[in-house]
Structure 1
Amino acid sequence: MWVVETHCHLDFPQFAEDLDAVLERARQAGVLYMVTIGTSLESSRRAVELAHRYENVYAAVGVHPHDAEKVNEATLTELEELGQDEKVVAVGEVGLDFYRNMSPRQIQERVFREFIRLAKRLNKPLVLHTRDATKEVLKILEEEGAPQKRGVFHCWASSVKNAKRAVELGFHISFAGNITFKNAEQLRQKAAGIGLQHLMVETDAPFLAPEPHRGKRCEPAYVVLVARKLAEIFGVPYDEVARVTTRNAVKLFGLPEVQNG
């Protein structure tokens, strides 16, 4: 059974020396497609380059909220040009981060609104970063109106109540390797309360390596461990999690159809 790795950062320096081997391990583990996510203008350029270099890699373009204050009209113009590429399947990683507040909140919110409008112009979904800011992200989405293609809340950590608001807006919820951590029982309970039909899986590689690799470099092959943990949480076979999450990812990102049993 194939799975889709919906959120990784293959352009990051942690993969500079052995990316071919990393992608081969992912394929052998059962990962059919990977979406590599831009976090800056330069990172987005690299993501698109990688998507053209590797057939089973797709890209998202955007600027992480940490760097929101660096976004100007020229940035948005180039990202819009990049976003028209056939291998670009989303606008992201965008949103709000009120945990670190590395860019002022007002600027983060203004730039996030710009990215929602960009996603609408490109007719592509959003990949959302919402650390300590999920309610604010939902409020802005409700005010601006979600893009037609909606999107995904990456690395979910908020409440079931907020997840249900996101789902009502037409968004998916994605879980990463931290759902496998020994101290993550609350997160596992949240996943159970959301429902498998709304979920996707990711690693956020090179970060958040799941057990038993915690503390080491994460890589896309490990997304299988996230899917296995979800199977355990929902009490269903692994193949069912693979089928549902892959179907969700293929539909959201417009990826080639998968024969998944």
Structure 2
Amino acid sequence: MIDAHIHADCRPYEDFEKMAVAGIESAVTLAHDPLRMSNSAVVLDHFHRILNNDRERAAANGIELFVALGVHPRSICPDVDLVLAELPILLEDERVVALGEVGLETVRDEEEAIFKDQLQLADELSMKVVVHTPRRNKREVTERTLSIIAENIDPTRVQLDHVDTSIIDLALEFGGLMGLTVQPLKVSPLEAVELLEEYGCEGFVLDSDMSSSPSDPLSVPKTVHQMKLAGLGNEEMEMVSHRNAAVFYGI
């Protein structure tokens, strides 16, 4: 199994052992806002931790971590231009499989400008992108997010994450990969299964988004278990817990 969206830097060493025992073999860990991102040095140090320390901790427990780097909308620092200047170099690292997690939080002008810059960079580099959708004003912000994606990059190169019932219709129309974030304050395993039963498993991936927020490192295997109990087949379970993410990220 692949957990398609985690924040490994926020989790203890023991969580990776739990994931491995439950059958997770790899995961994609993304840049986000674990600290007050007060300047570019903090943001870049965060990137370097993801690339090095967290991959080592996961590997010691049998989990292969792949990396996505980008400026999260809550990580925009006063000298963000220095981060954006360094980002193309970091994205060339063979351990990096996508640009992310990027997107909009409150639809400020600065957020939109930085989001567009990063989508254009991903387009130039032919990279995949992981796009955040927020908890607040989710539908309104997602509508603007998808509009910006359509103007700047092929949607099939985008994973739109934290999809739930409030934006499922928008996500289906957008045409990219859809991330079902199974997390205590987002979508439950049962709710994820209901969505998969209604809309099918093509185009969906499962992820835990485990971070400093209430999270469960076993979200993906628990959802697969609920799929089995609901009578979904092995091919469907394999599709959303492994194949779709593996094909999208080339891992």
TM-score by structure 1 length? Answer: 0.77
**CA pair 71-138 structure 1, distance change in 2 beyond 3 A:** farther
Divergent runs of 4+, >6 A? none
Question: Corresponding residue for 1:89?
Answer: 97
Q: Which residue of 1 aligns with 2:222?
A: 225
Secondary structure, counterpart of 1:25 in structure 2: helix
Match status 1:243 vs 2:246: no
In structure 1, list runs of 5 or more residues that go unmatched: 99-103, 210-216, 256-261
Does 2:205 align with 1:203?
Answer: no
Q: CA deviation at 1:62?
A: 1.0
The match for 1:159 among 154, 160, 167 is 167
Shift of 1:123: 1.9
Work out the percentage of aligned pairs sharing the same amino acid. Answer: 25
State the 1:69 CA deviation: 5.1
Aligned to 1:101: none
Deviations 1:150-169 (A, max 9, x none): 121112133232012222xx
Q: Is the contact made by 1:113 and 1:140 (CA closer than 8 Å) also made in structure 2?
A: yes
Would you say 1:36 and 2:25 are equivalent positions? Answer: no
Using the alignment, how far apart are the partners of 1:115 and 1:249 within structure 2? Answer: 21
Cross-structure match for 1:5: 3
* CA spacing shift, 1:73–1:207, aligned 2, 3 Å: closer
Which position in structure 1 is the counterpart of 2:38?
Answer: none
What residue in structure 2 maps to residue 172 of structure 1?
178
Provide the rounded CA distance (Å) in 2 between the counterparts of 1:226 and 1:197: 16
CA distance in 1, matches of 2:232, 2:239: 11
For the aligned residue pairs, the C-alpha RMSD in angstroms reads 2.5
TM-aligned CA distance change 1:232 to 1:92, over 3 Å = farther
Instruction: Give the Cα separation in 2 of the matches to 1:57 and 1:7.
Output: 10
Shift of 1:141: 1.0
Q: Secondary structure at the match of 1:66?
A: coil
Quote how far apart the aligned CAs of 1:56 are. 0.8
Q: Could you say which residue in structure 1 is the equivalent of 2:249?
A: 253
Counterpart contact for 1:5–1:31, Cα < 8 Å: yes
Is contact 1:94–1:128 with CA below 8 Å preserved after alignment? yes
Contact 1:179 1:229 in 2 (8 A): no
Q: In the TM superposition, what whole-angstrom CA distance separates every residue of 1:198-235 from its partner, at most 9, and x where no partner exists?
A: 110111113565xxxxxxx532x3321133345556x4
Question: Which residue is equivalent to 2:35?
Answer: none
Equivalent residue for 1:76?
Answer: 84
Gaps of 5+ in 2: 33-42
SS at 2:25 equivalent: strand
Give the C-alpha shift of residue 242 in structure 1: 3.4
Question: Does 1:106 pair with 2:102?
Answer: no
CA deviation after TM superposition for structure 1 residue 129, in Å: 0.5
**3-state secondary structure, aligned to 1:23:** helix
Distance 1:73 1:206 in 2: 26
